[in-house]
Amino acid sequence: MTRSRSLCLVSSLILVGFAAGCRSTGPAAGDASVMAETPRVDVRNEVGENGLPTARALVARFVDALGGEKTLRAHSSSTTRGSMELAAMGMSGDLVRYAAAPDKMVMIIEMSGFGTMNQGFNGEVGWSDNPMQGATLLEGRQLHQMEQQAAYYGPLAYADLYPEMETVELTEFNGESAYKVRLVDEEGSEIFQYFSEESSLILGTEMQQENPQMGGTMDVRIKLADYEDFGGGLVPTQTVMEMMGMVIRQTVSEVTYDDVEETAFAPPDSVKALLE
């Protein structure tokens, strides 16, 4: 694969790994009145007709494993810092991700020998800006995926995002026993997530990602590992993305909460020019 083609893939995928397993919507953090009005039925032990835990049972267990709903709703913004590596090309860089409730997110990566990549969604506009393609406003399926990825509160409303959910089988993912769950969103797009039988944490995701630069979609496999608690629930600190023969590794070194200013979600000037 050529260097330019690989960089196109990197540019289109910098957000996917950090969003995996964390797509949902919900009321504002700390909104006790809303939470009190919508008590949740305990489905943790629910079993489907196939004899396996239902998808919503696995999601409920996942929320518990992360620290529980109260912990996940305790903050309204976060800053994630870490690194990104594309070893096959000898490339690496530093990254920062700003996120805020209910649906704002910006990821900035300073990649050695390449420059700055910036992708985000500010609640209204989604964009991508990088040295290879320049500034682009996201549309259609790609914008929809960005909106899903920008939803701030972890997996607290899977049913809203995925009207169709089912546990397919008990299988193995990355050497660990896991429940494979099929999720279909309101647009009919399908992904598969793997929930650890032992820990209930998400081990990974398989999906198809929109990639206009390559002329269609591509299969993406994401592995999540080494969950740590930075004060707002468990976060996977190691993310490995595999697609089209490439491997991209993302490492989280720090997460801080309630420290993001609204200005962090302003599109770069190159994107603002497209909005004029």
pLDDT value, residue 175: 95
Q: Which stretch of DSSP H or E encloses residue 36?
A: helix 32-37
pTM: 0.85
Q: What percent of the chain has pLDDT over 70?
A: 82
For 225-238, how does the pLDDT look when each residue is reduced to its tens digit (9 = 90+)? 999 999 999 999 99
The vertex-210 CA angle with 235 and 100, nearest 5°, equals 40
Mean pLDDT of 88-116: 90
Q: Whole-angstrom distance between the N-terminal and C-terminal Cα of the chain?
A: 37
Burial of residue 166 (CB within 10 Å: 0-12, 13-18, 19+) is middle
Residue type at position 36: A
DSSP conformational letter for 112:
T
Q: Is 5 exposed, middle or buried (0-12, 13-18, 19+ CB in 10 A)?
A: middle
For the stretch 41-61, what's the b/e string if a residue is b when 16 or more beta carbons lie within 10 angstroms of its beta carbon? eeeeeeeeeeebbbbbbbbbb
Q: Is the pLDDT of residue 27 over 80?
A: no
Give which of 226, 218, 220 is closest to 252, Cα–Cα.
Answer: 226
pLDDT tens per residue across span 126-152: 999 988 889 999 998 888 888 888 888
Cis-peptide into 267, omega within 30 deg = no
Average pLDDT over residues 21-35: 37
Q: What is the pLDDT of residues 53-89, one digit of tens each?
A: 999 999 999 999 999 999 999 999 999 999 999 888 8
pLDDT at position 190: 93
Digit-coded pLDDT (tens) for 150-189: 888 866 878 888 899 999 999 999 999 999 999 998 888 8
Alpha-carbon distance values, 121 to 45, 69, 117, 178 (Å): 37, 24, 14, 32
Q: How far is CA 73 from the centre of its chain?
A: 17
Q: What is the pLDDT of residue 186?
A: 86
- When pLDDT is cut at 50, 70 and 90, the band that residue 210 belongs to is low
Domain residues of the chain, as ranges? Answer: 3-23+43-259
Task: Tell the CATH topology of 3-23+43-259.
Answer: outer membrane lipoprotein receptor (LolB), chain A (2.50.20)
The residue whose two tokens read 């944490």 is 201
CA distance 169 to 177: 11
Distance between CA atoms of 68 and 61, rounded to whole angstroms? 9
Indicate the SS3 state at residue 197.
coil
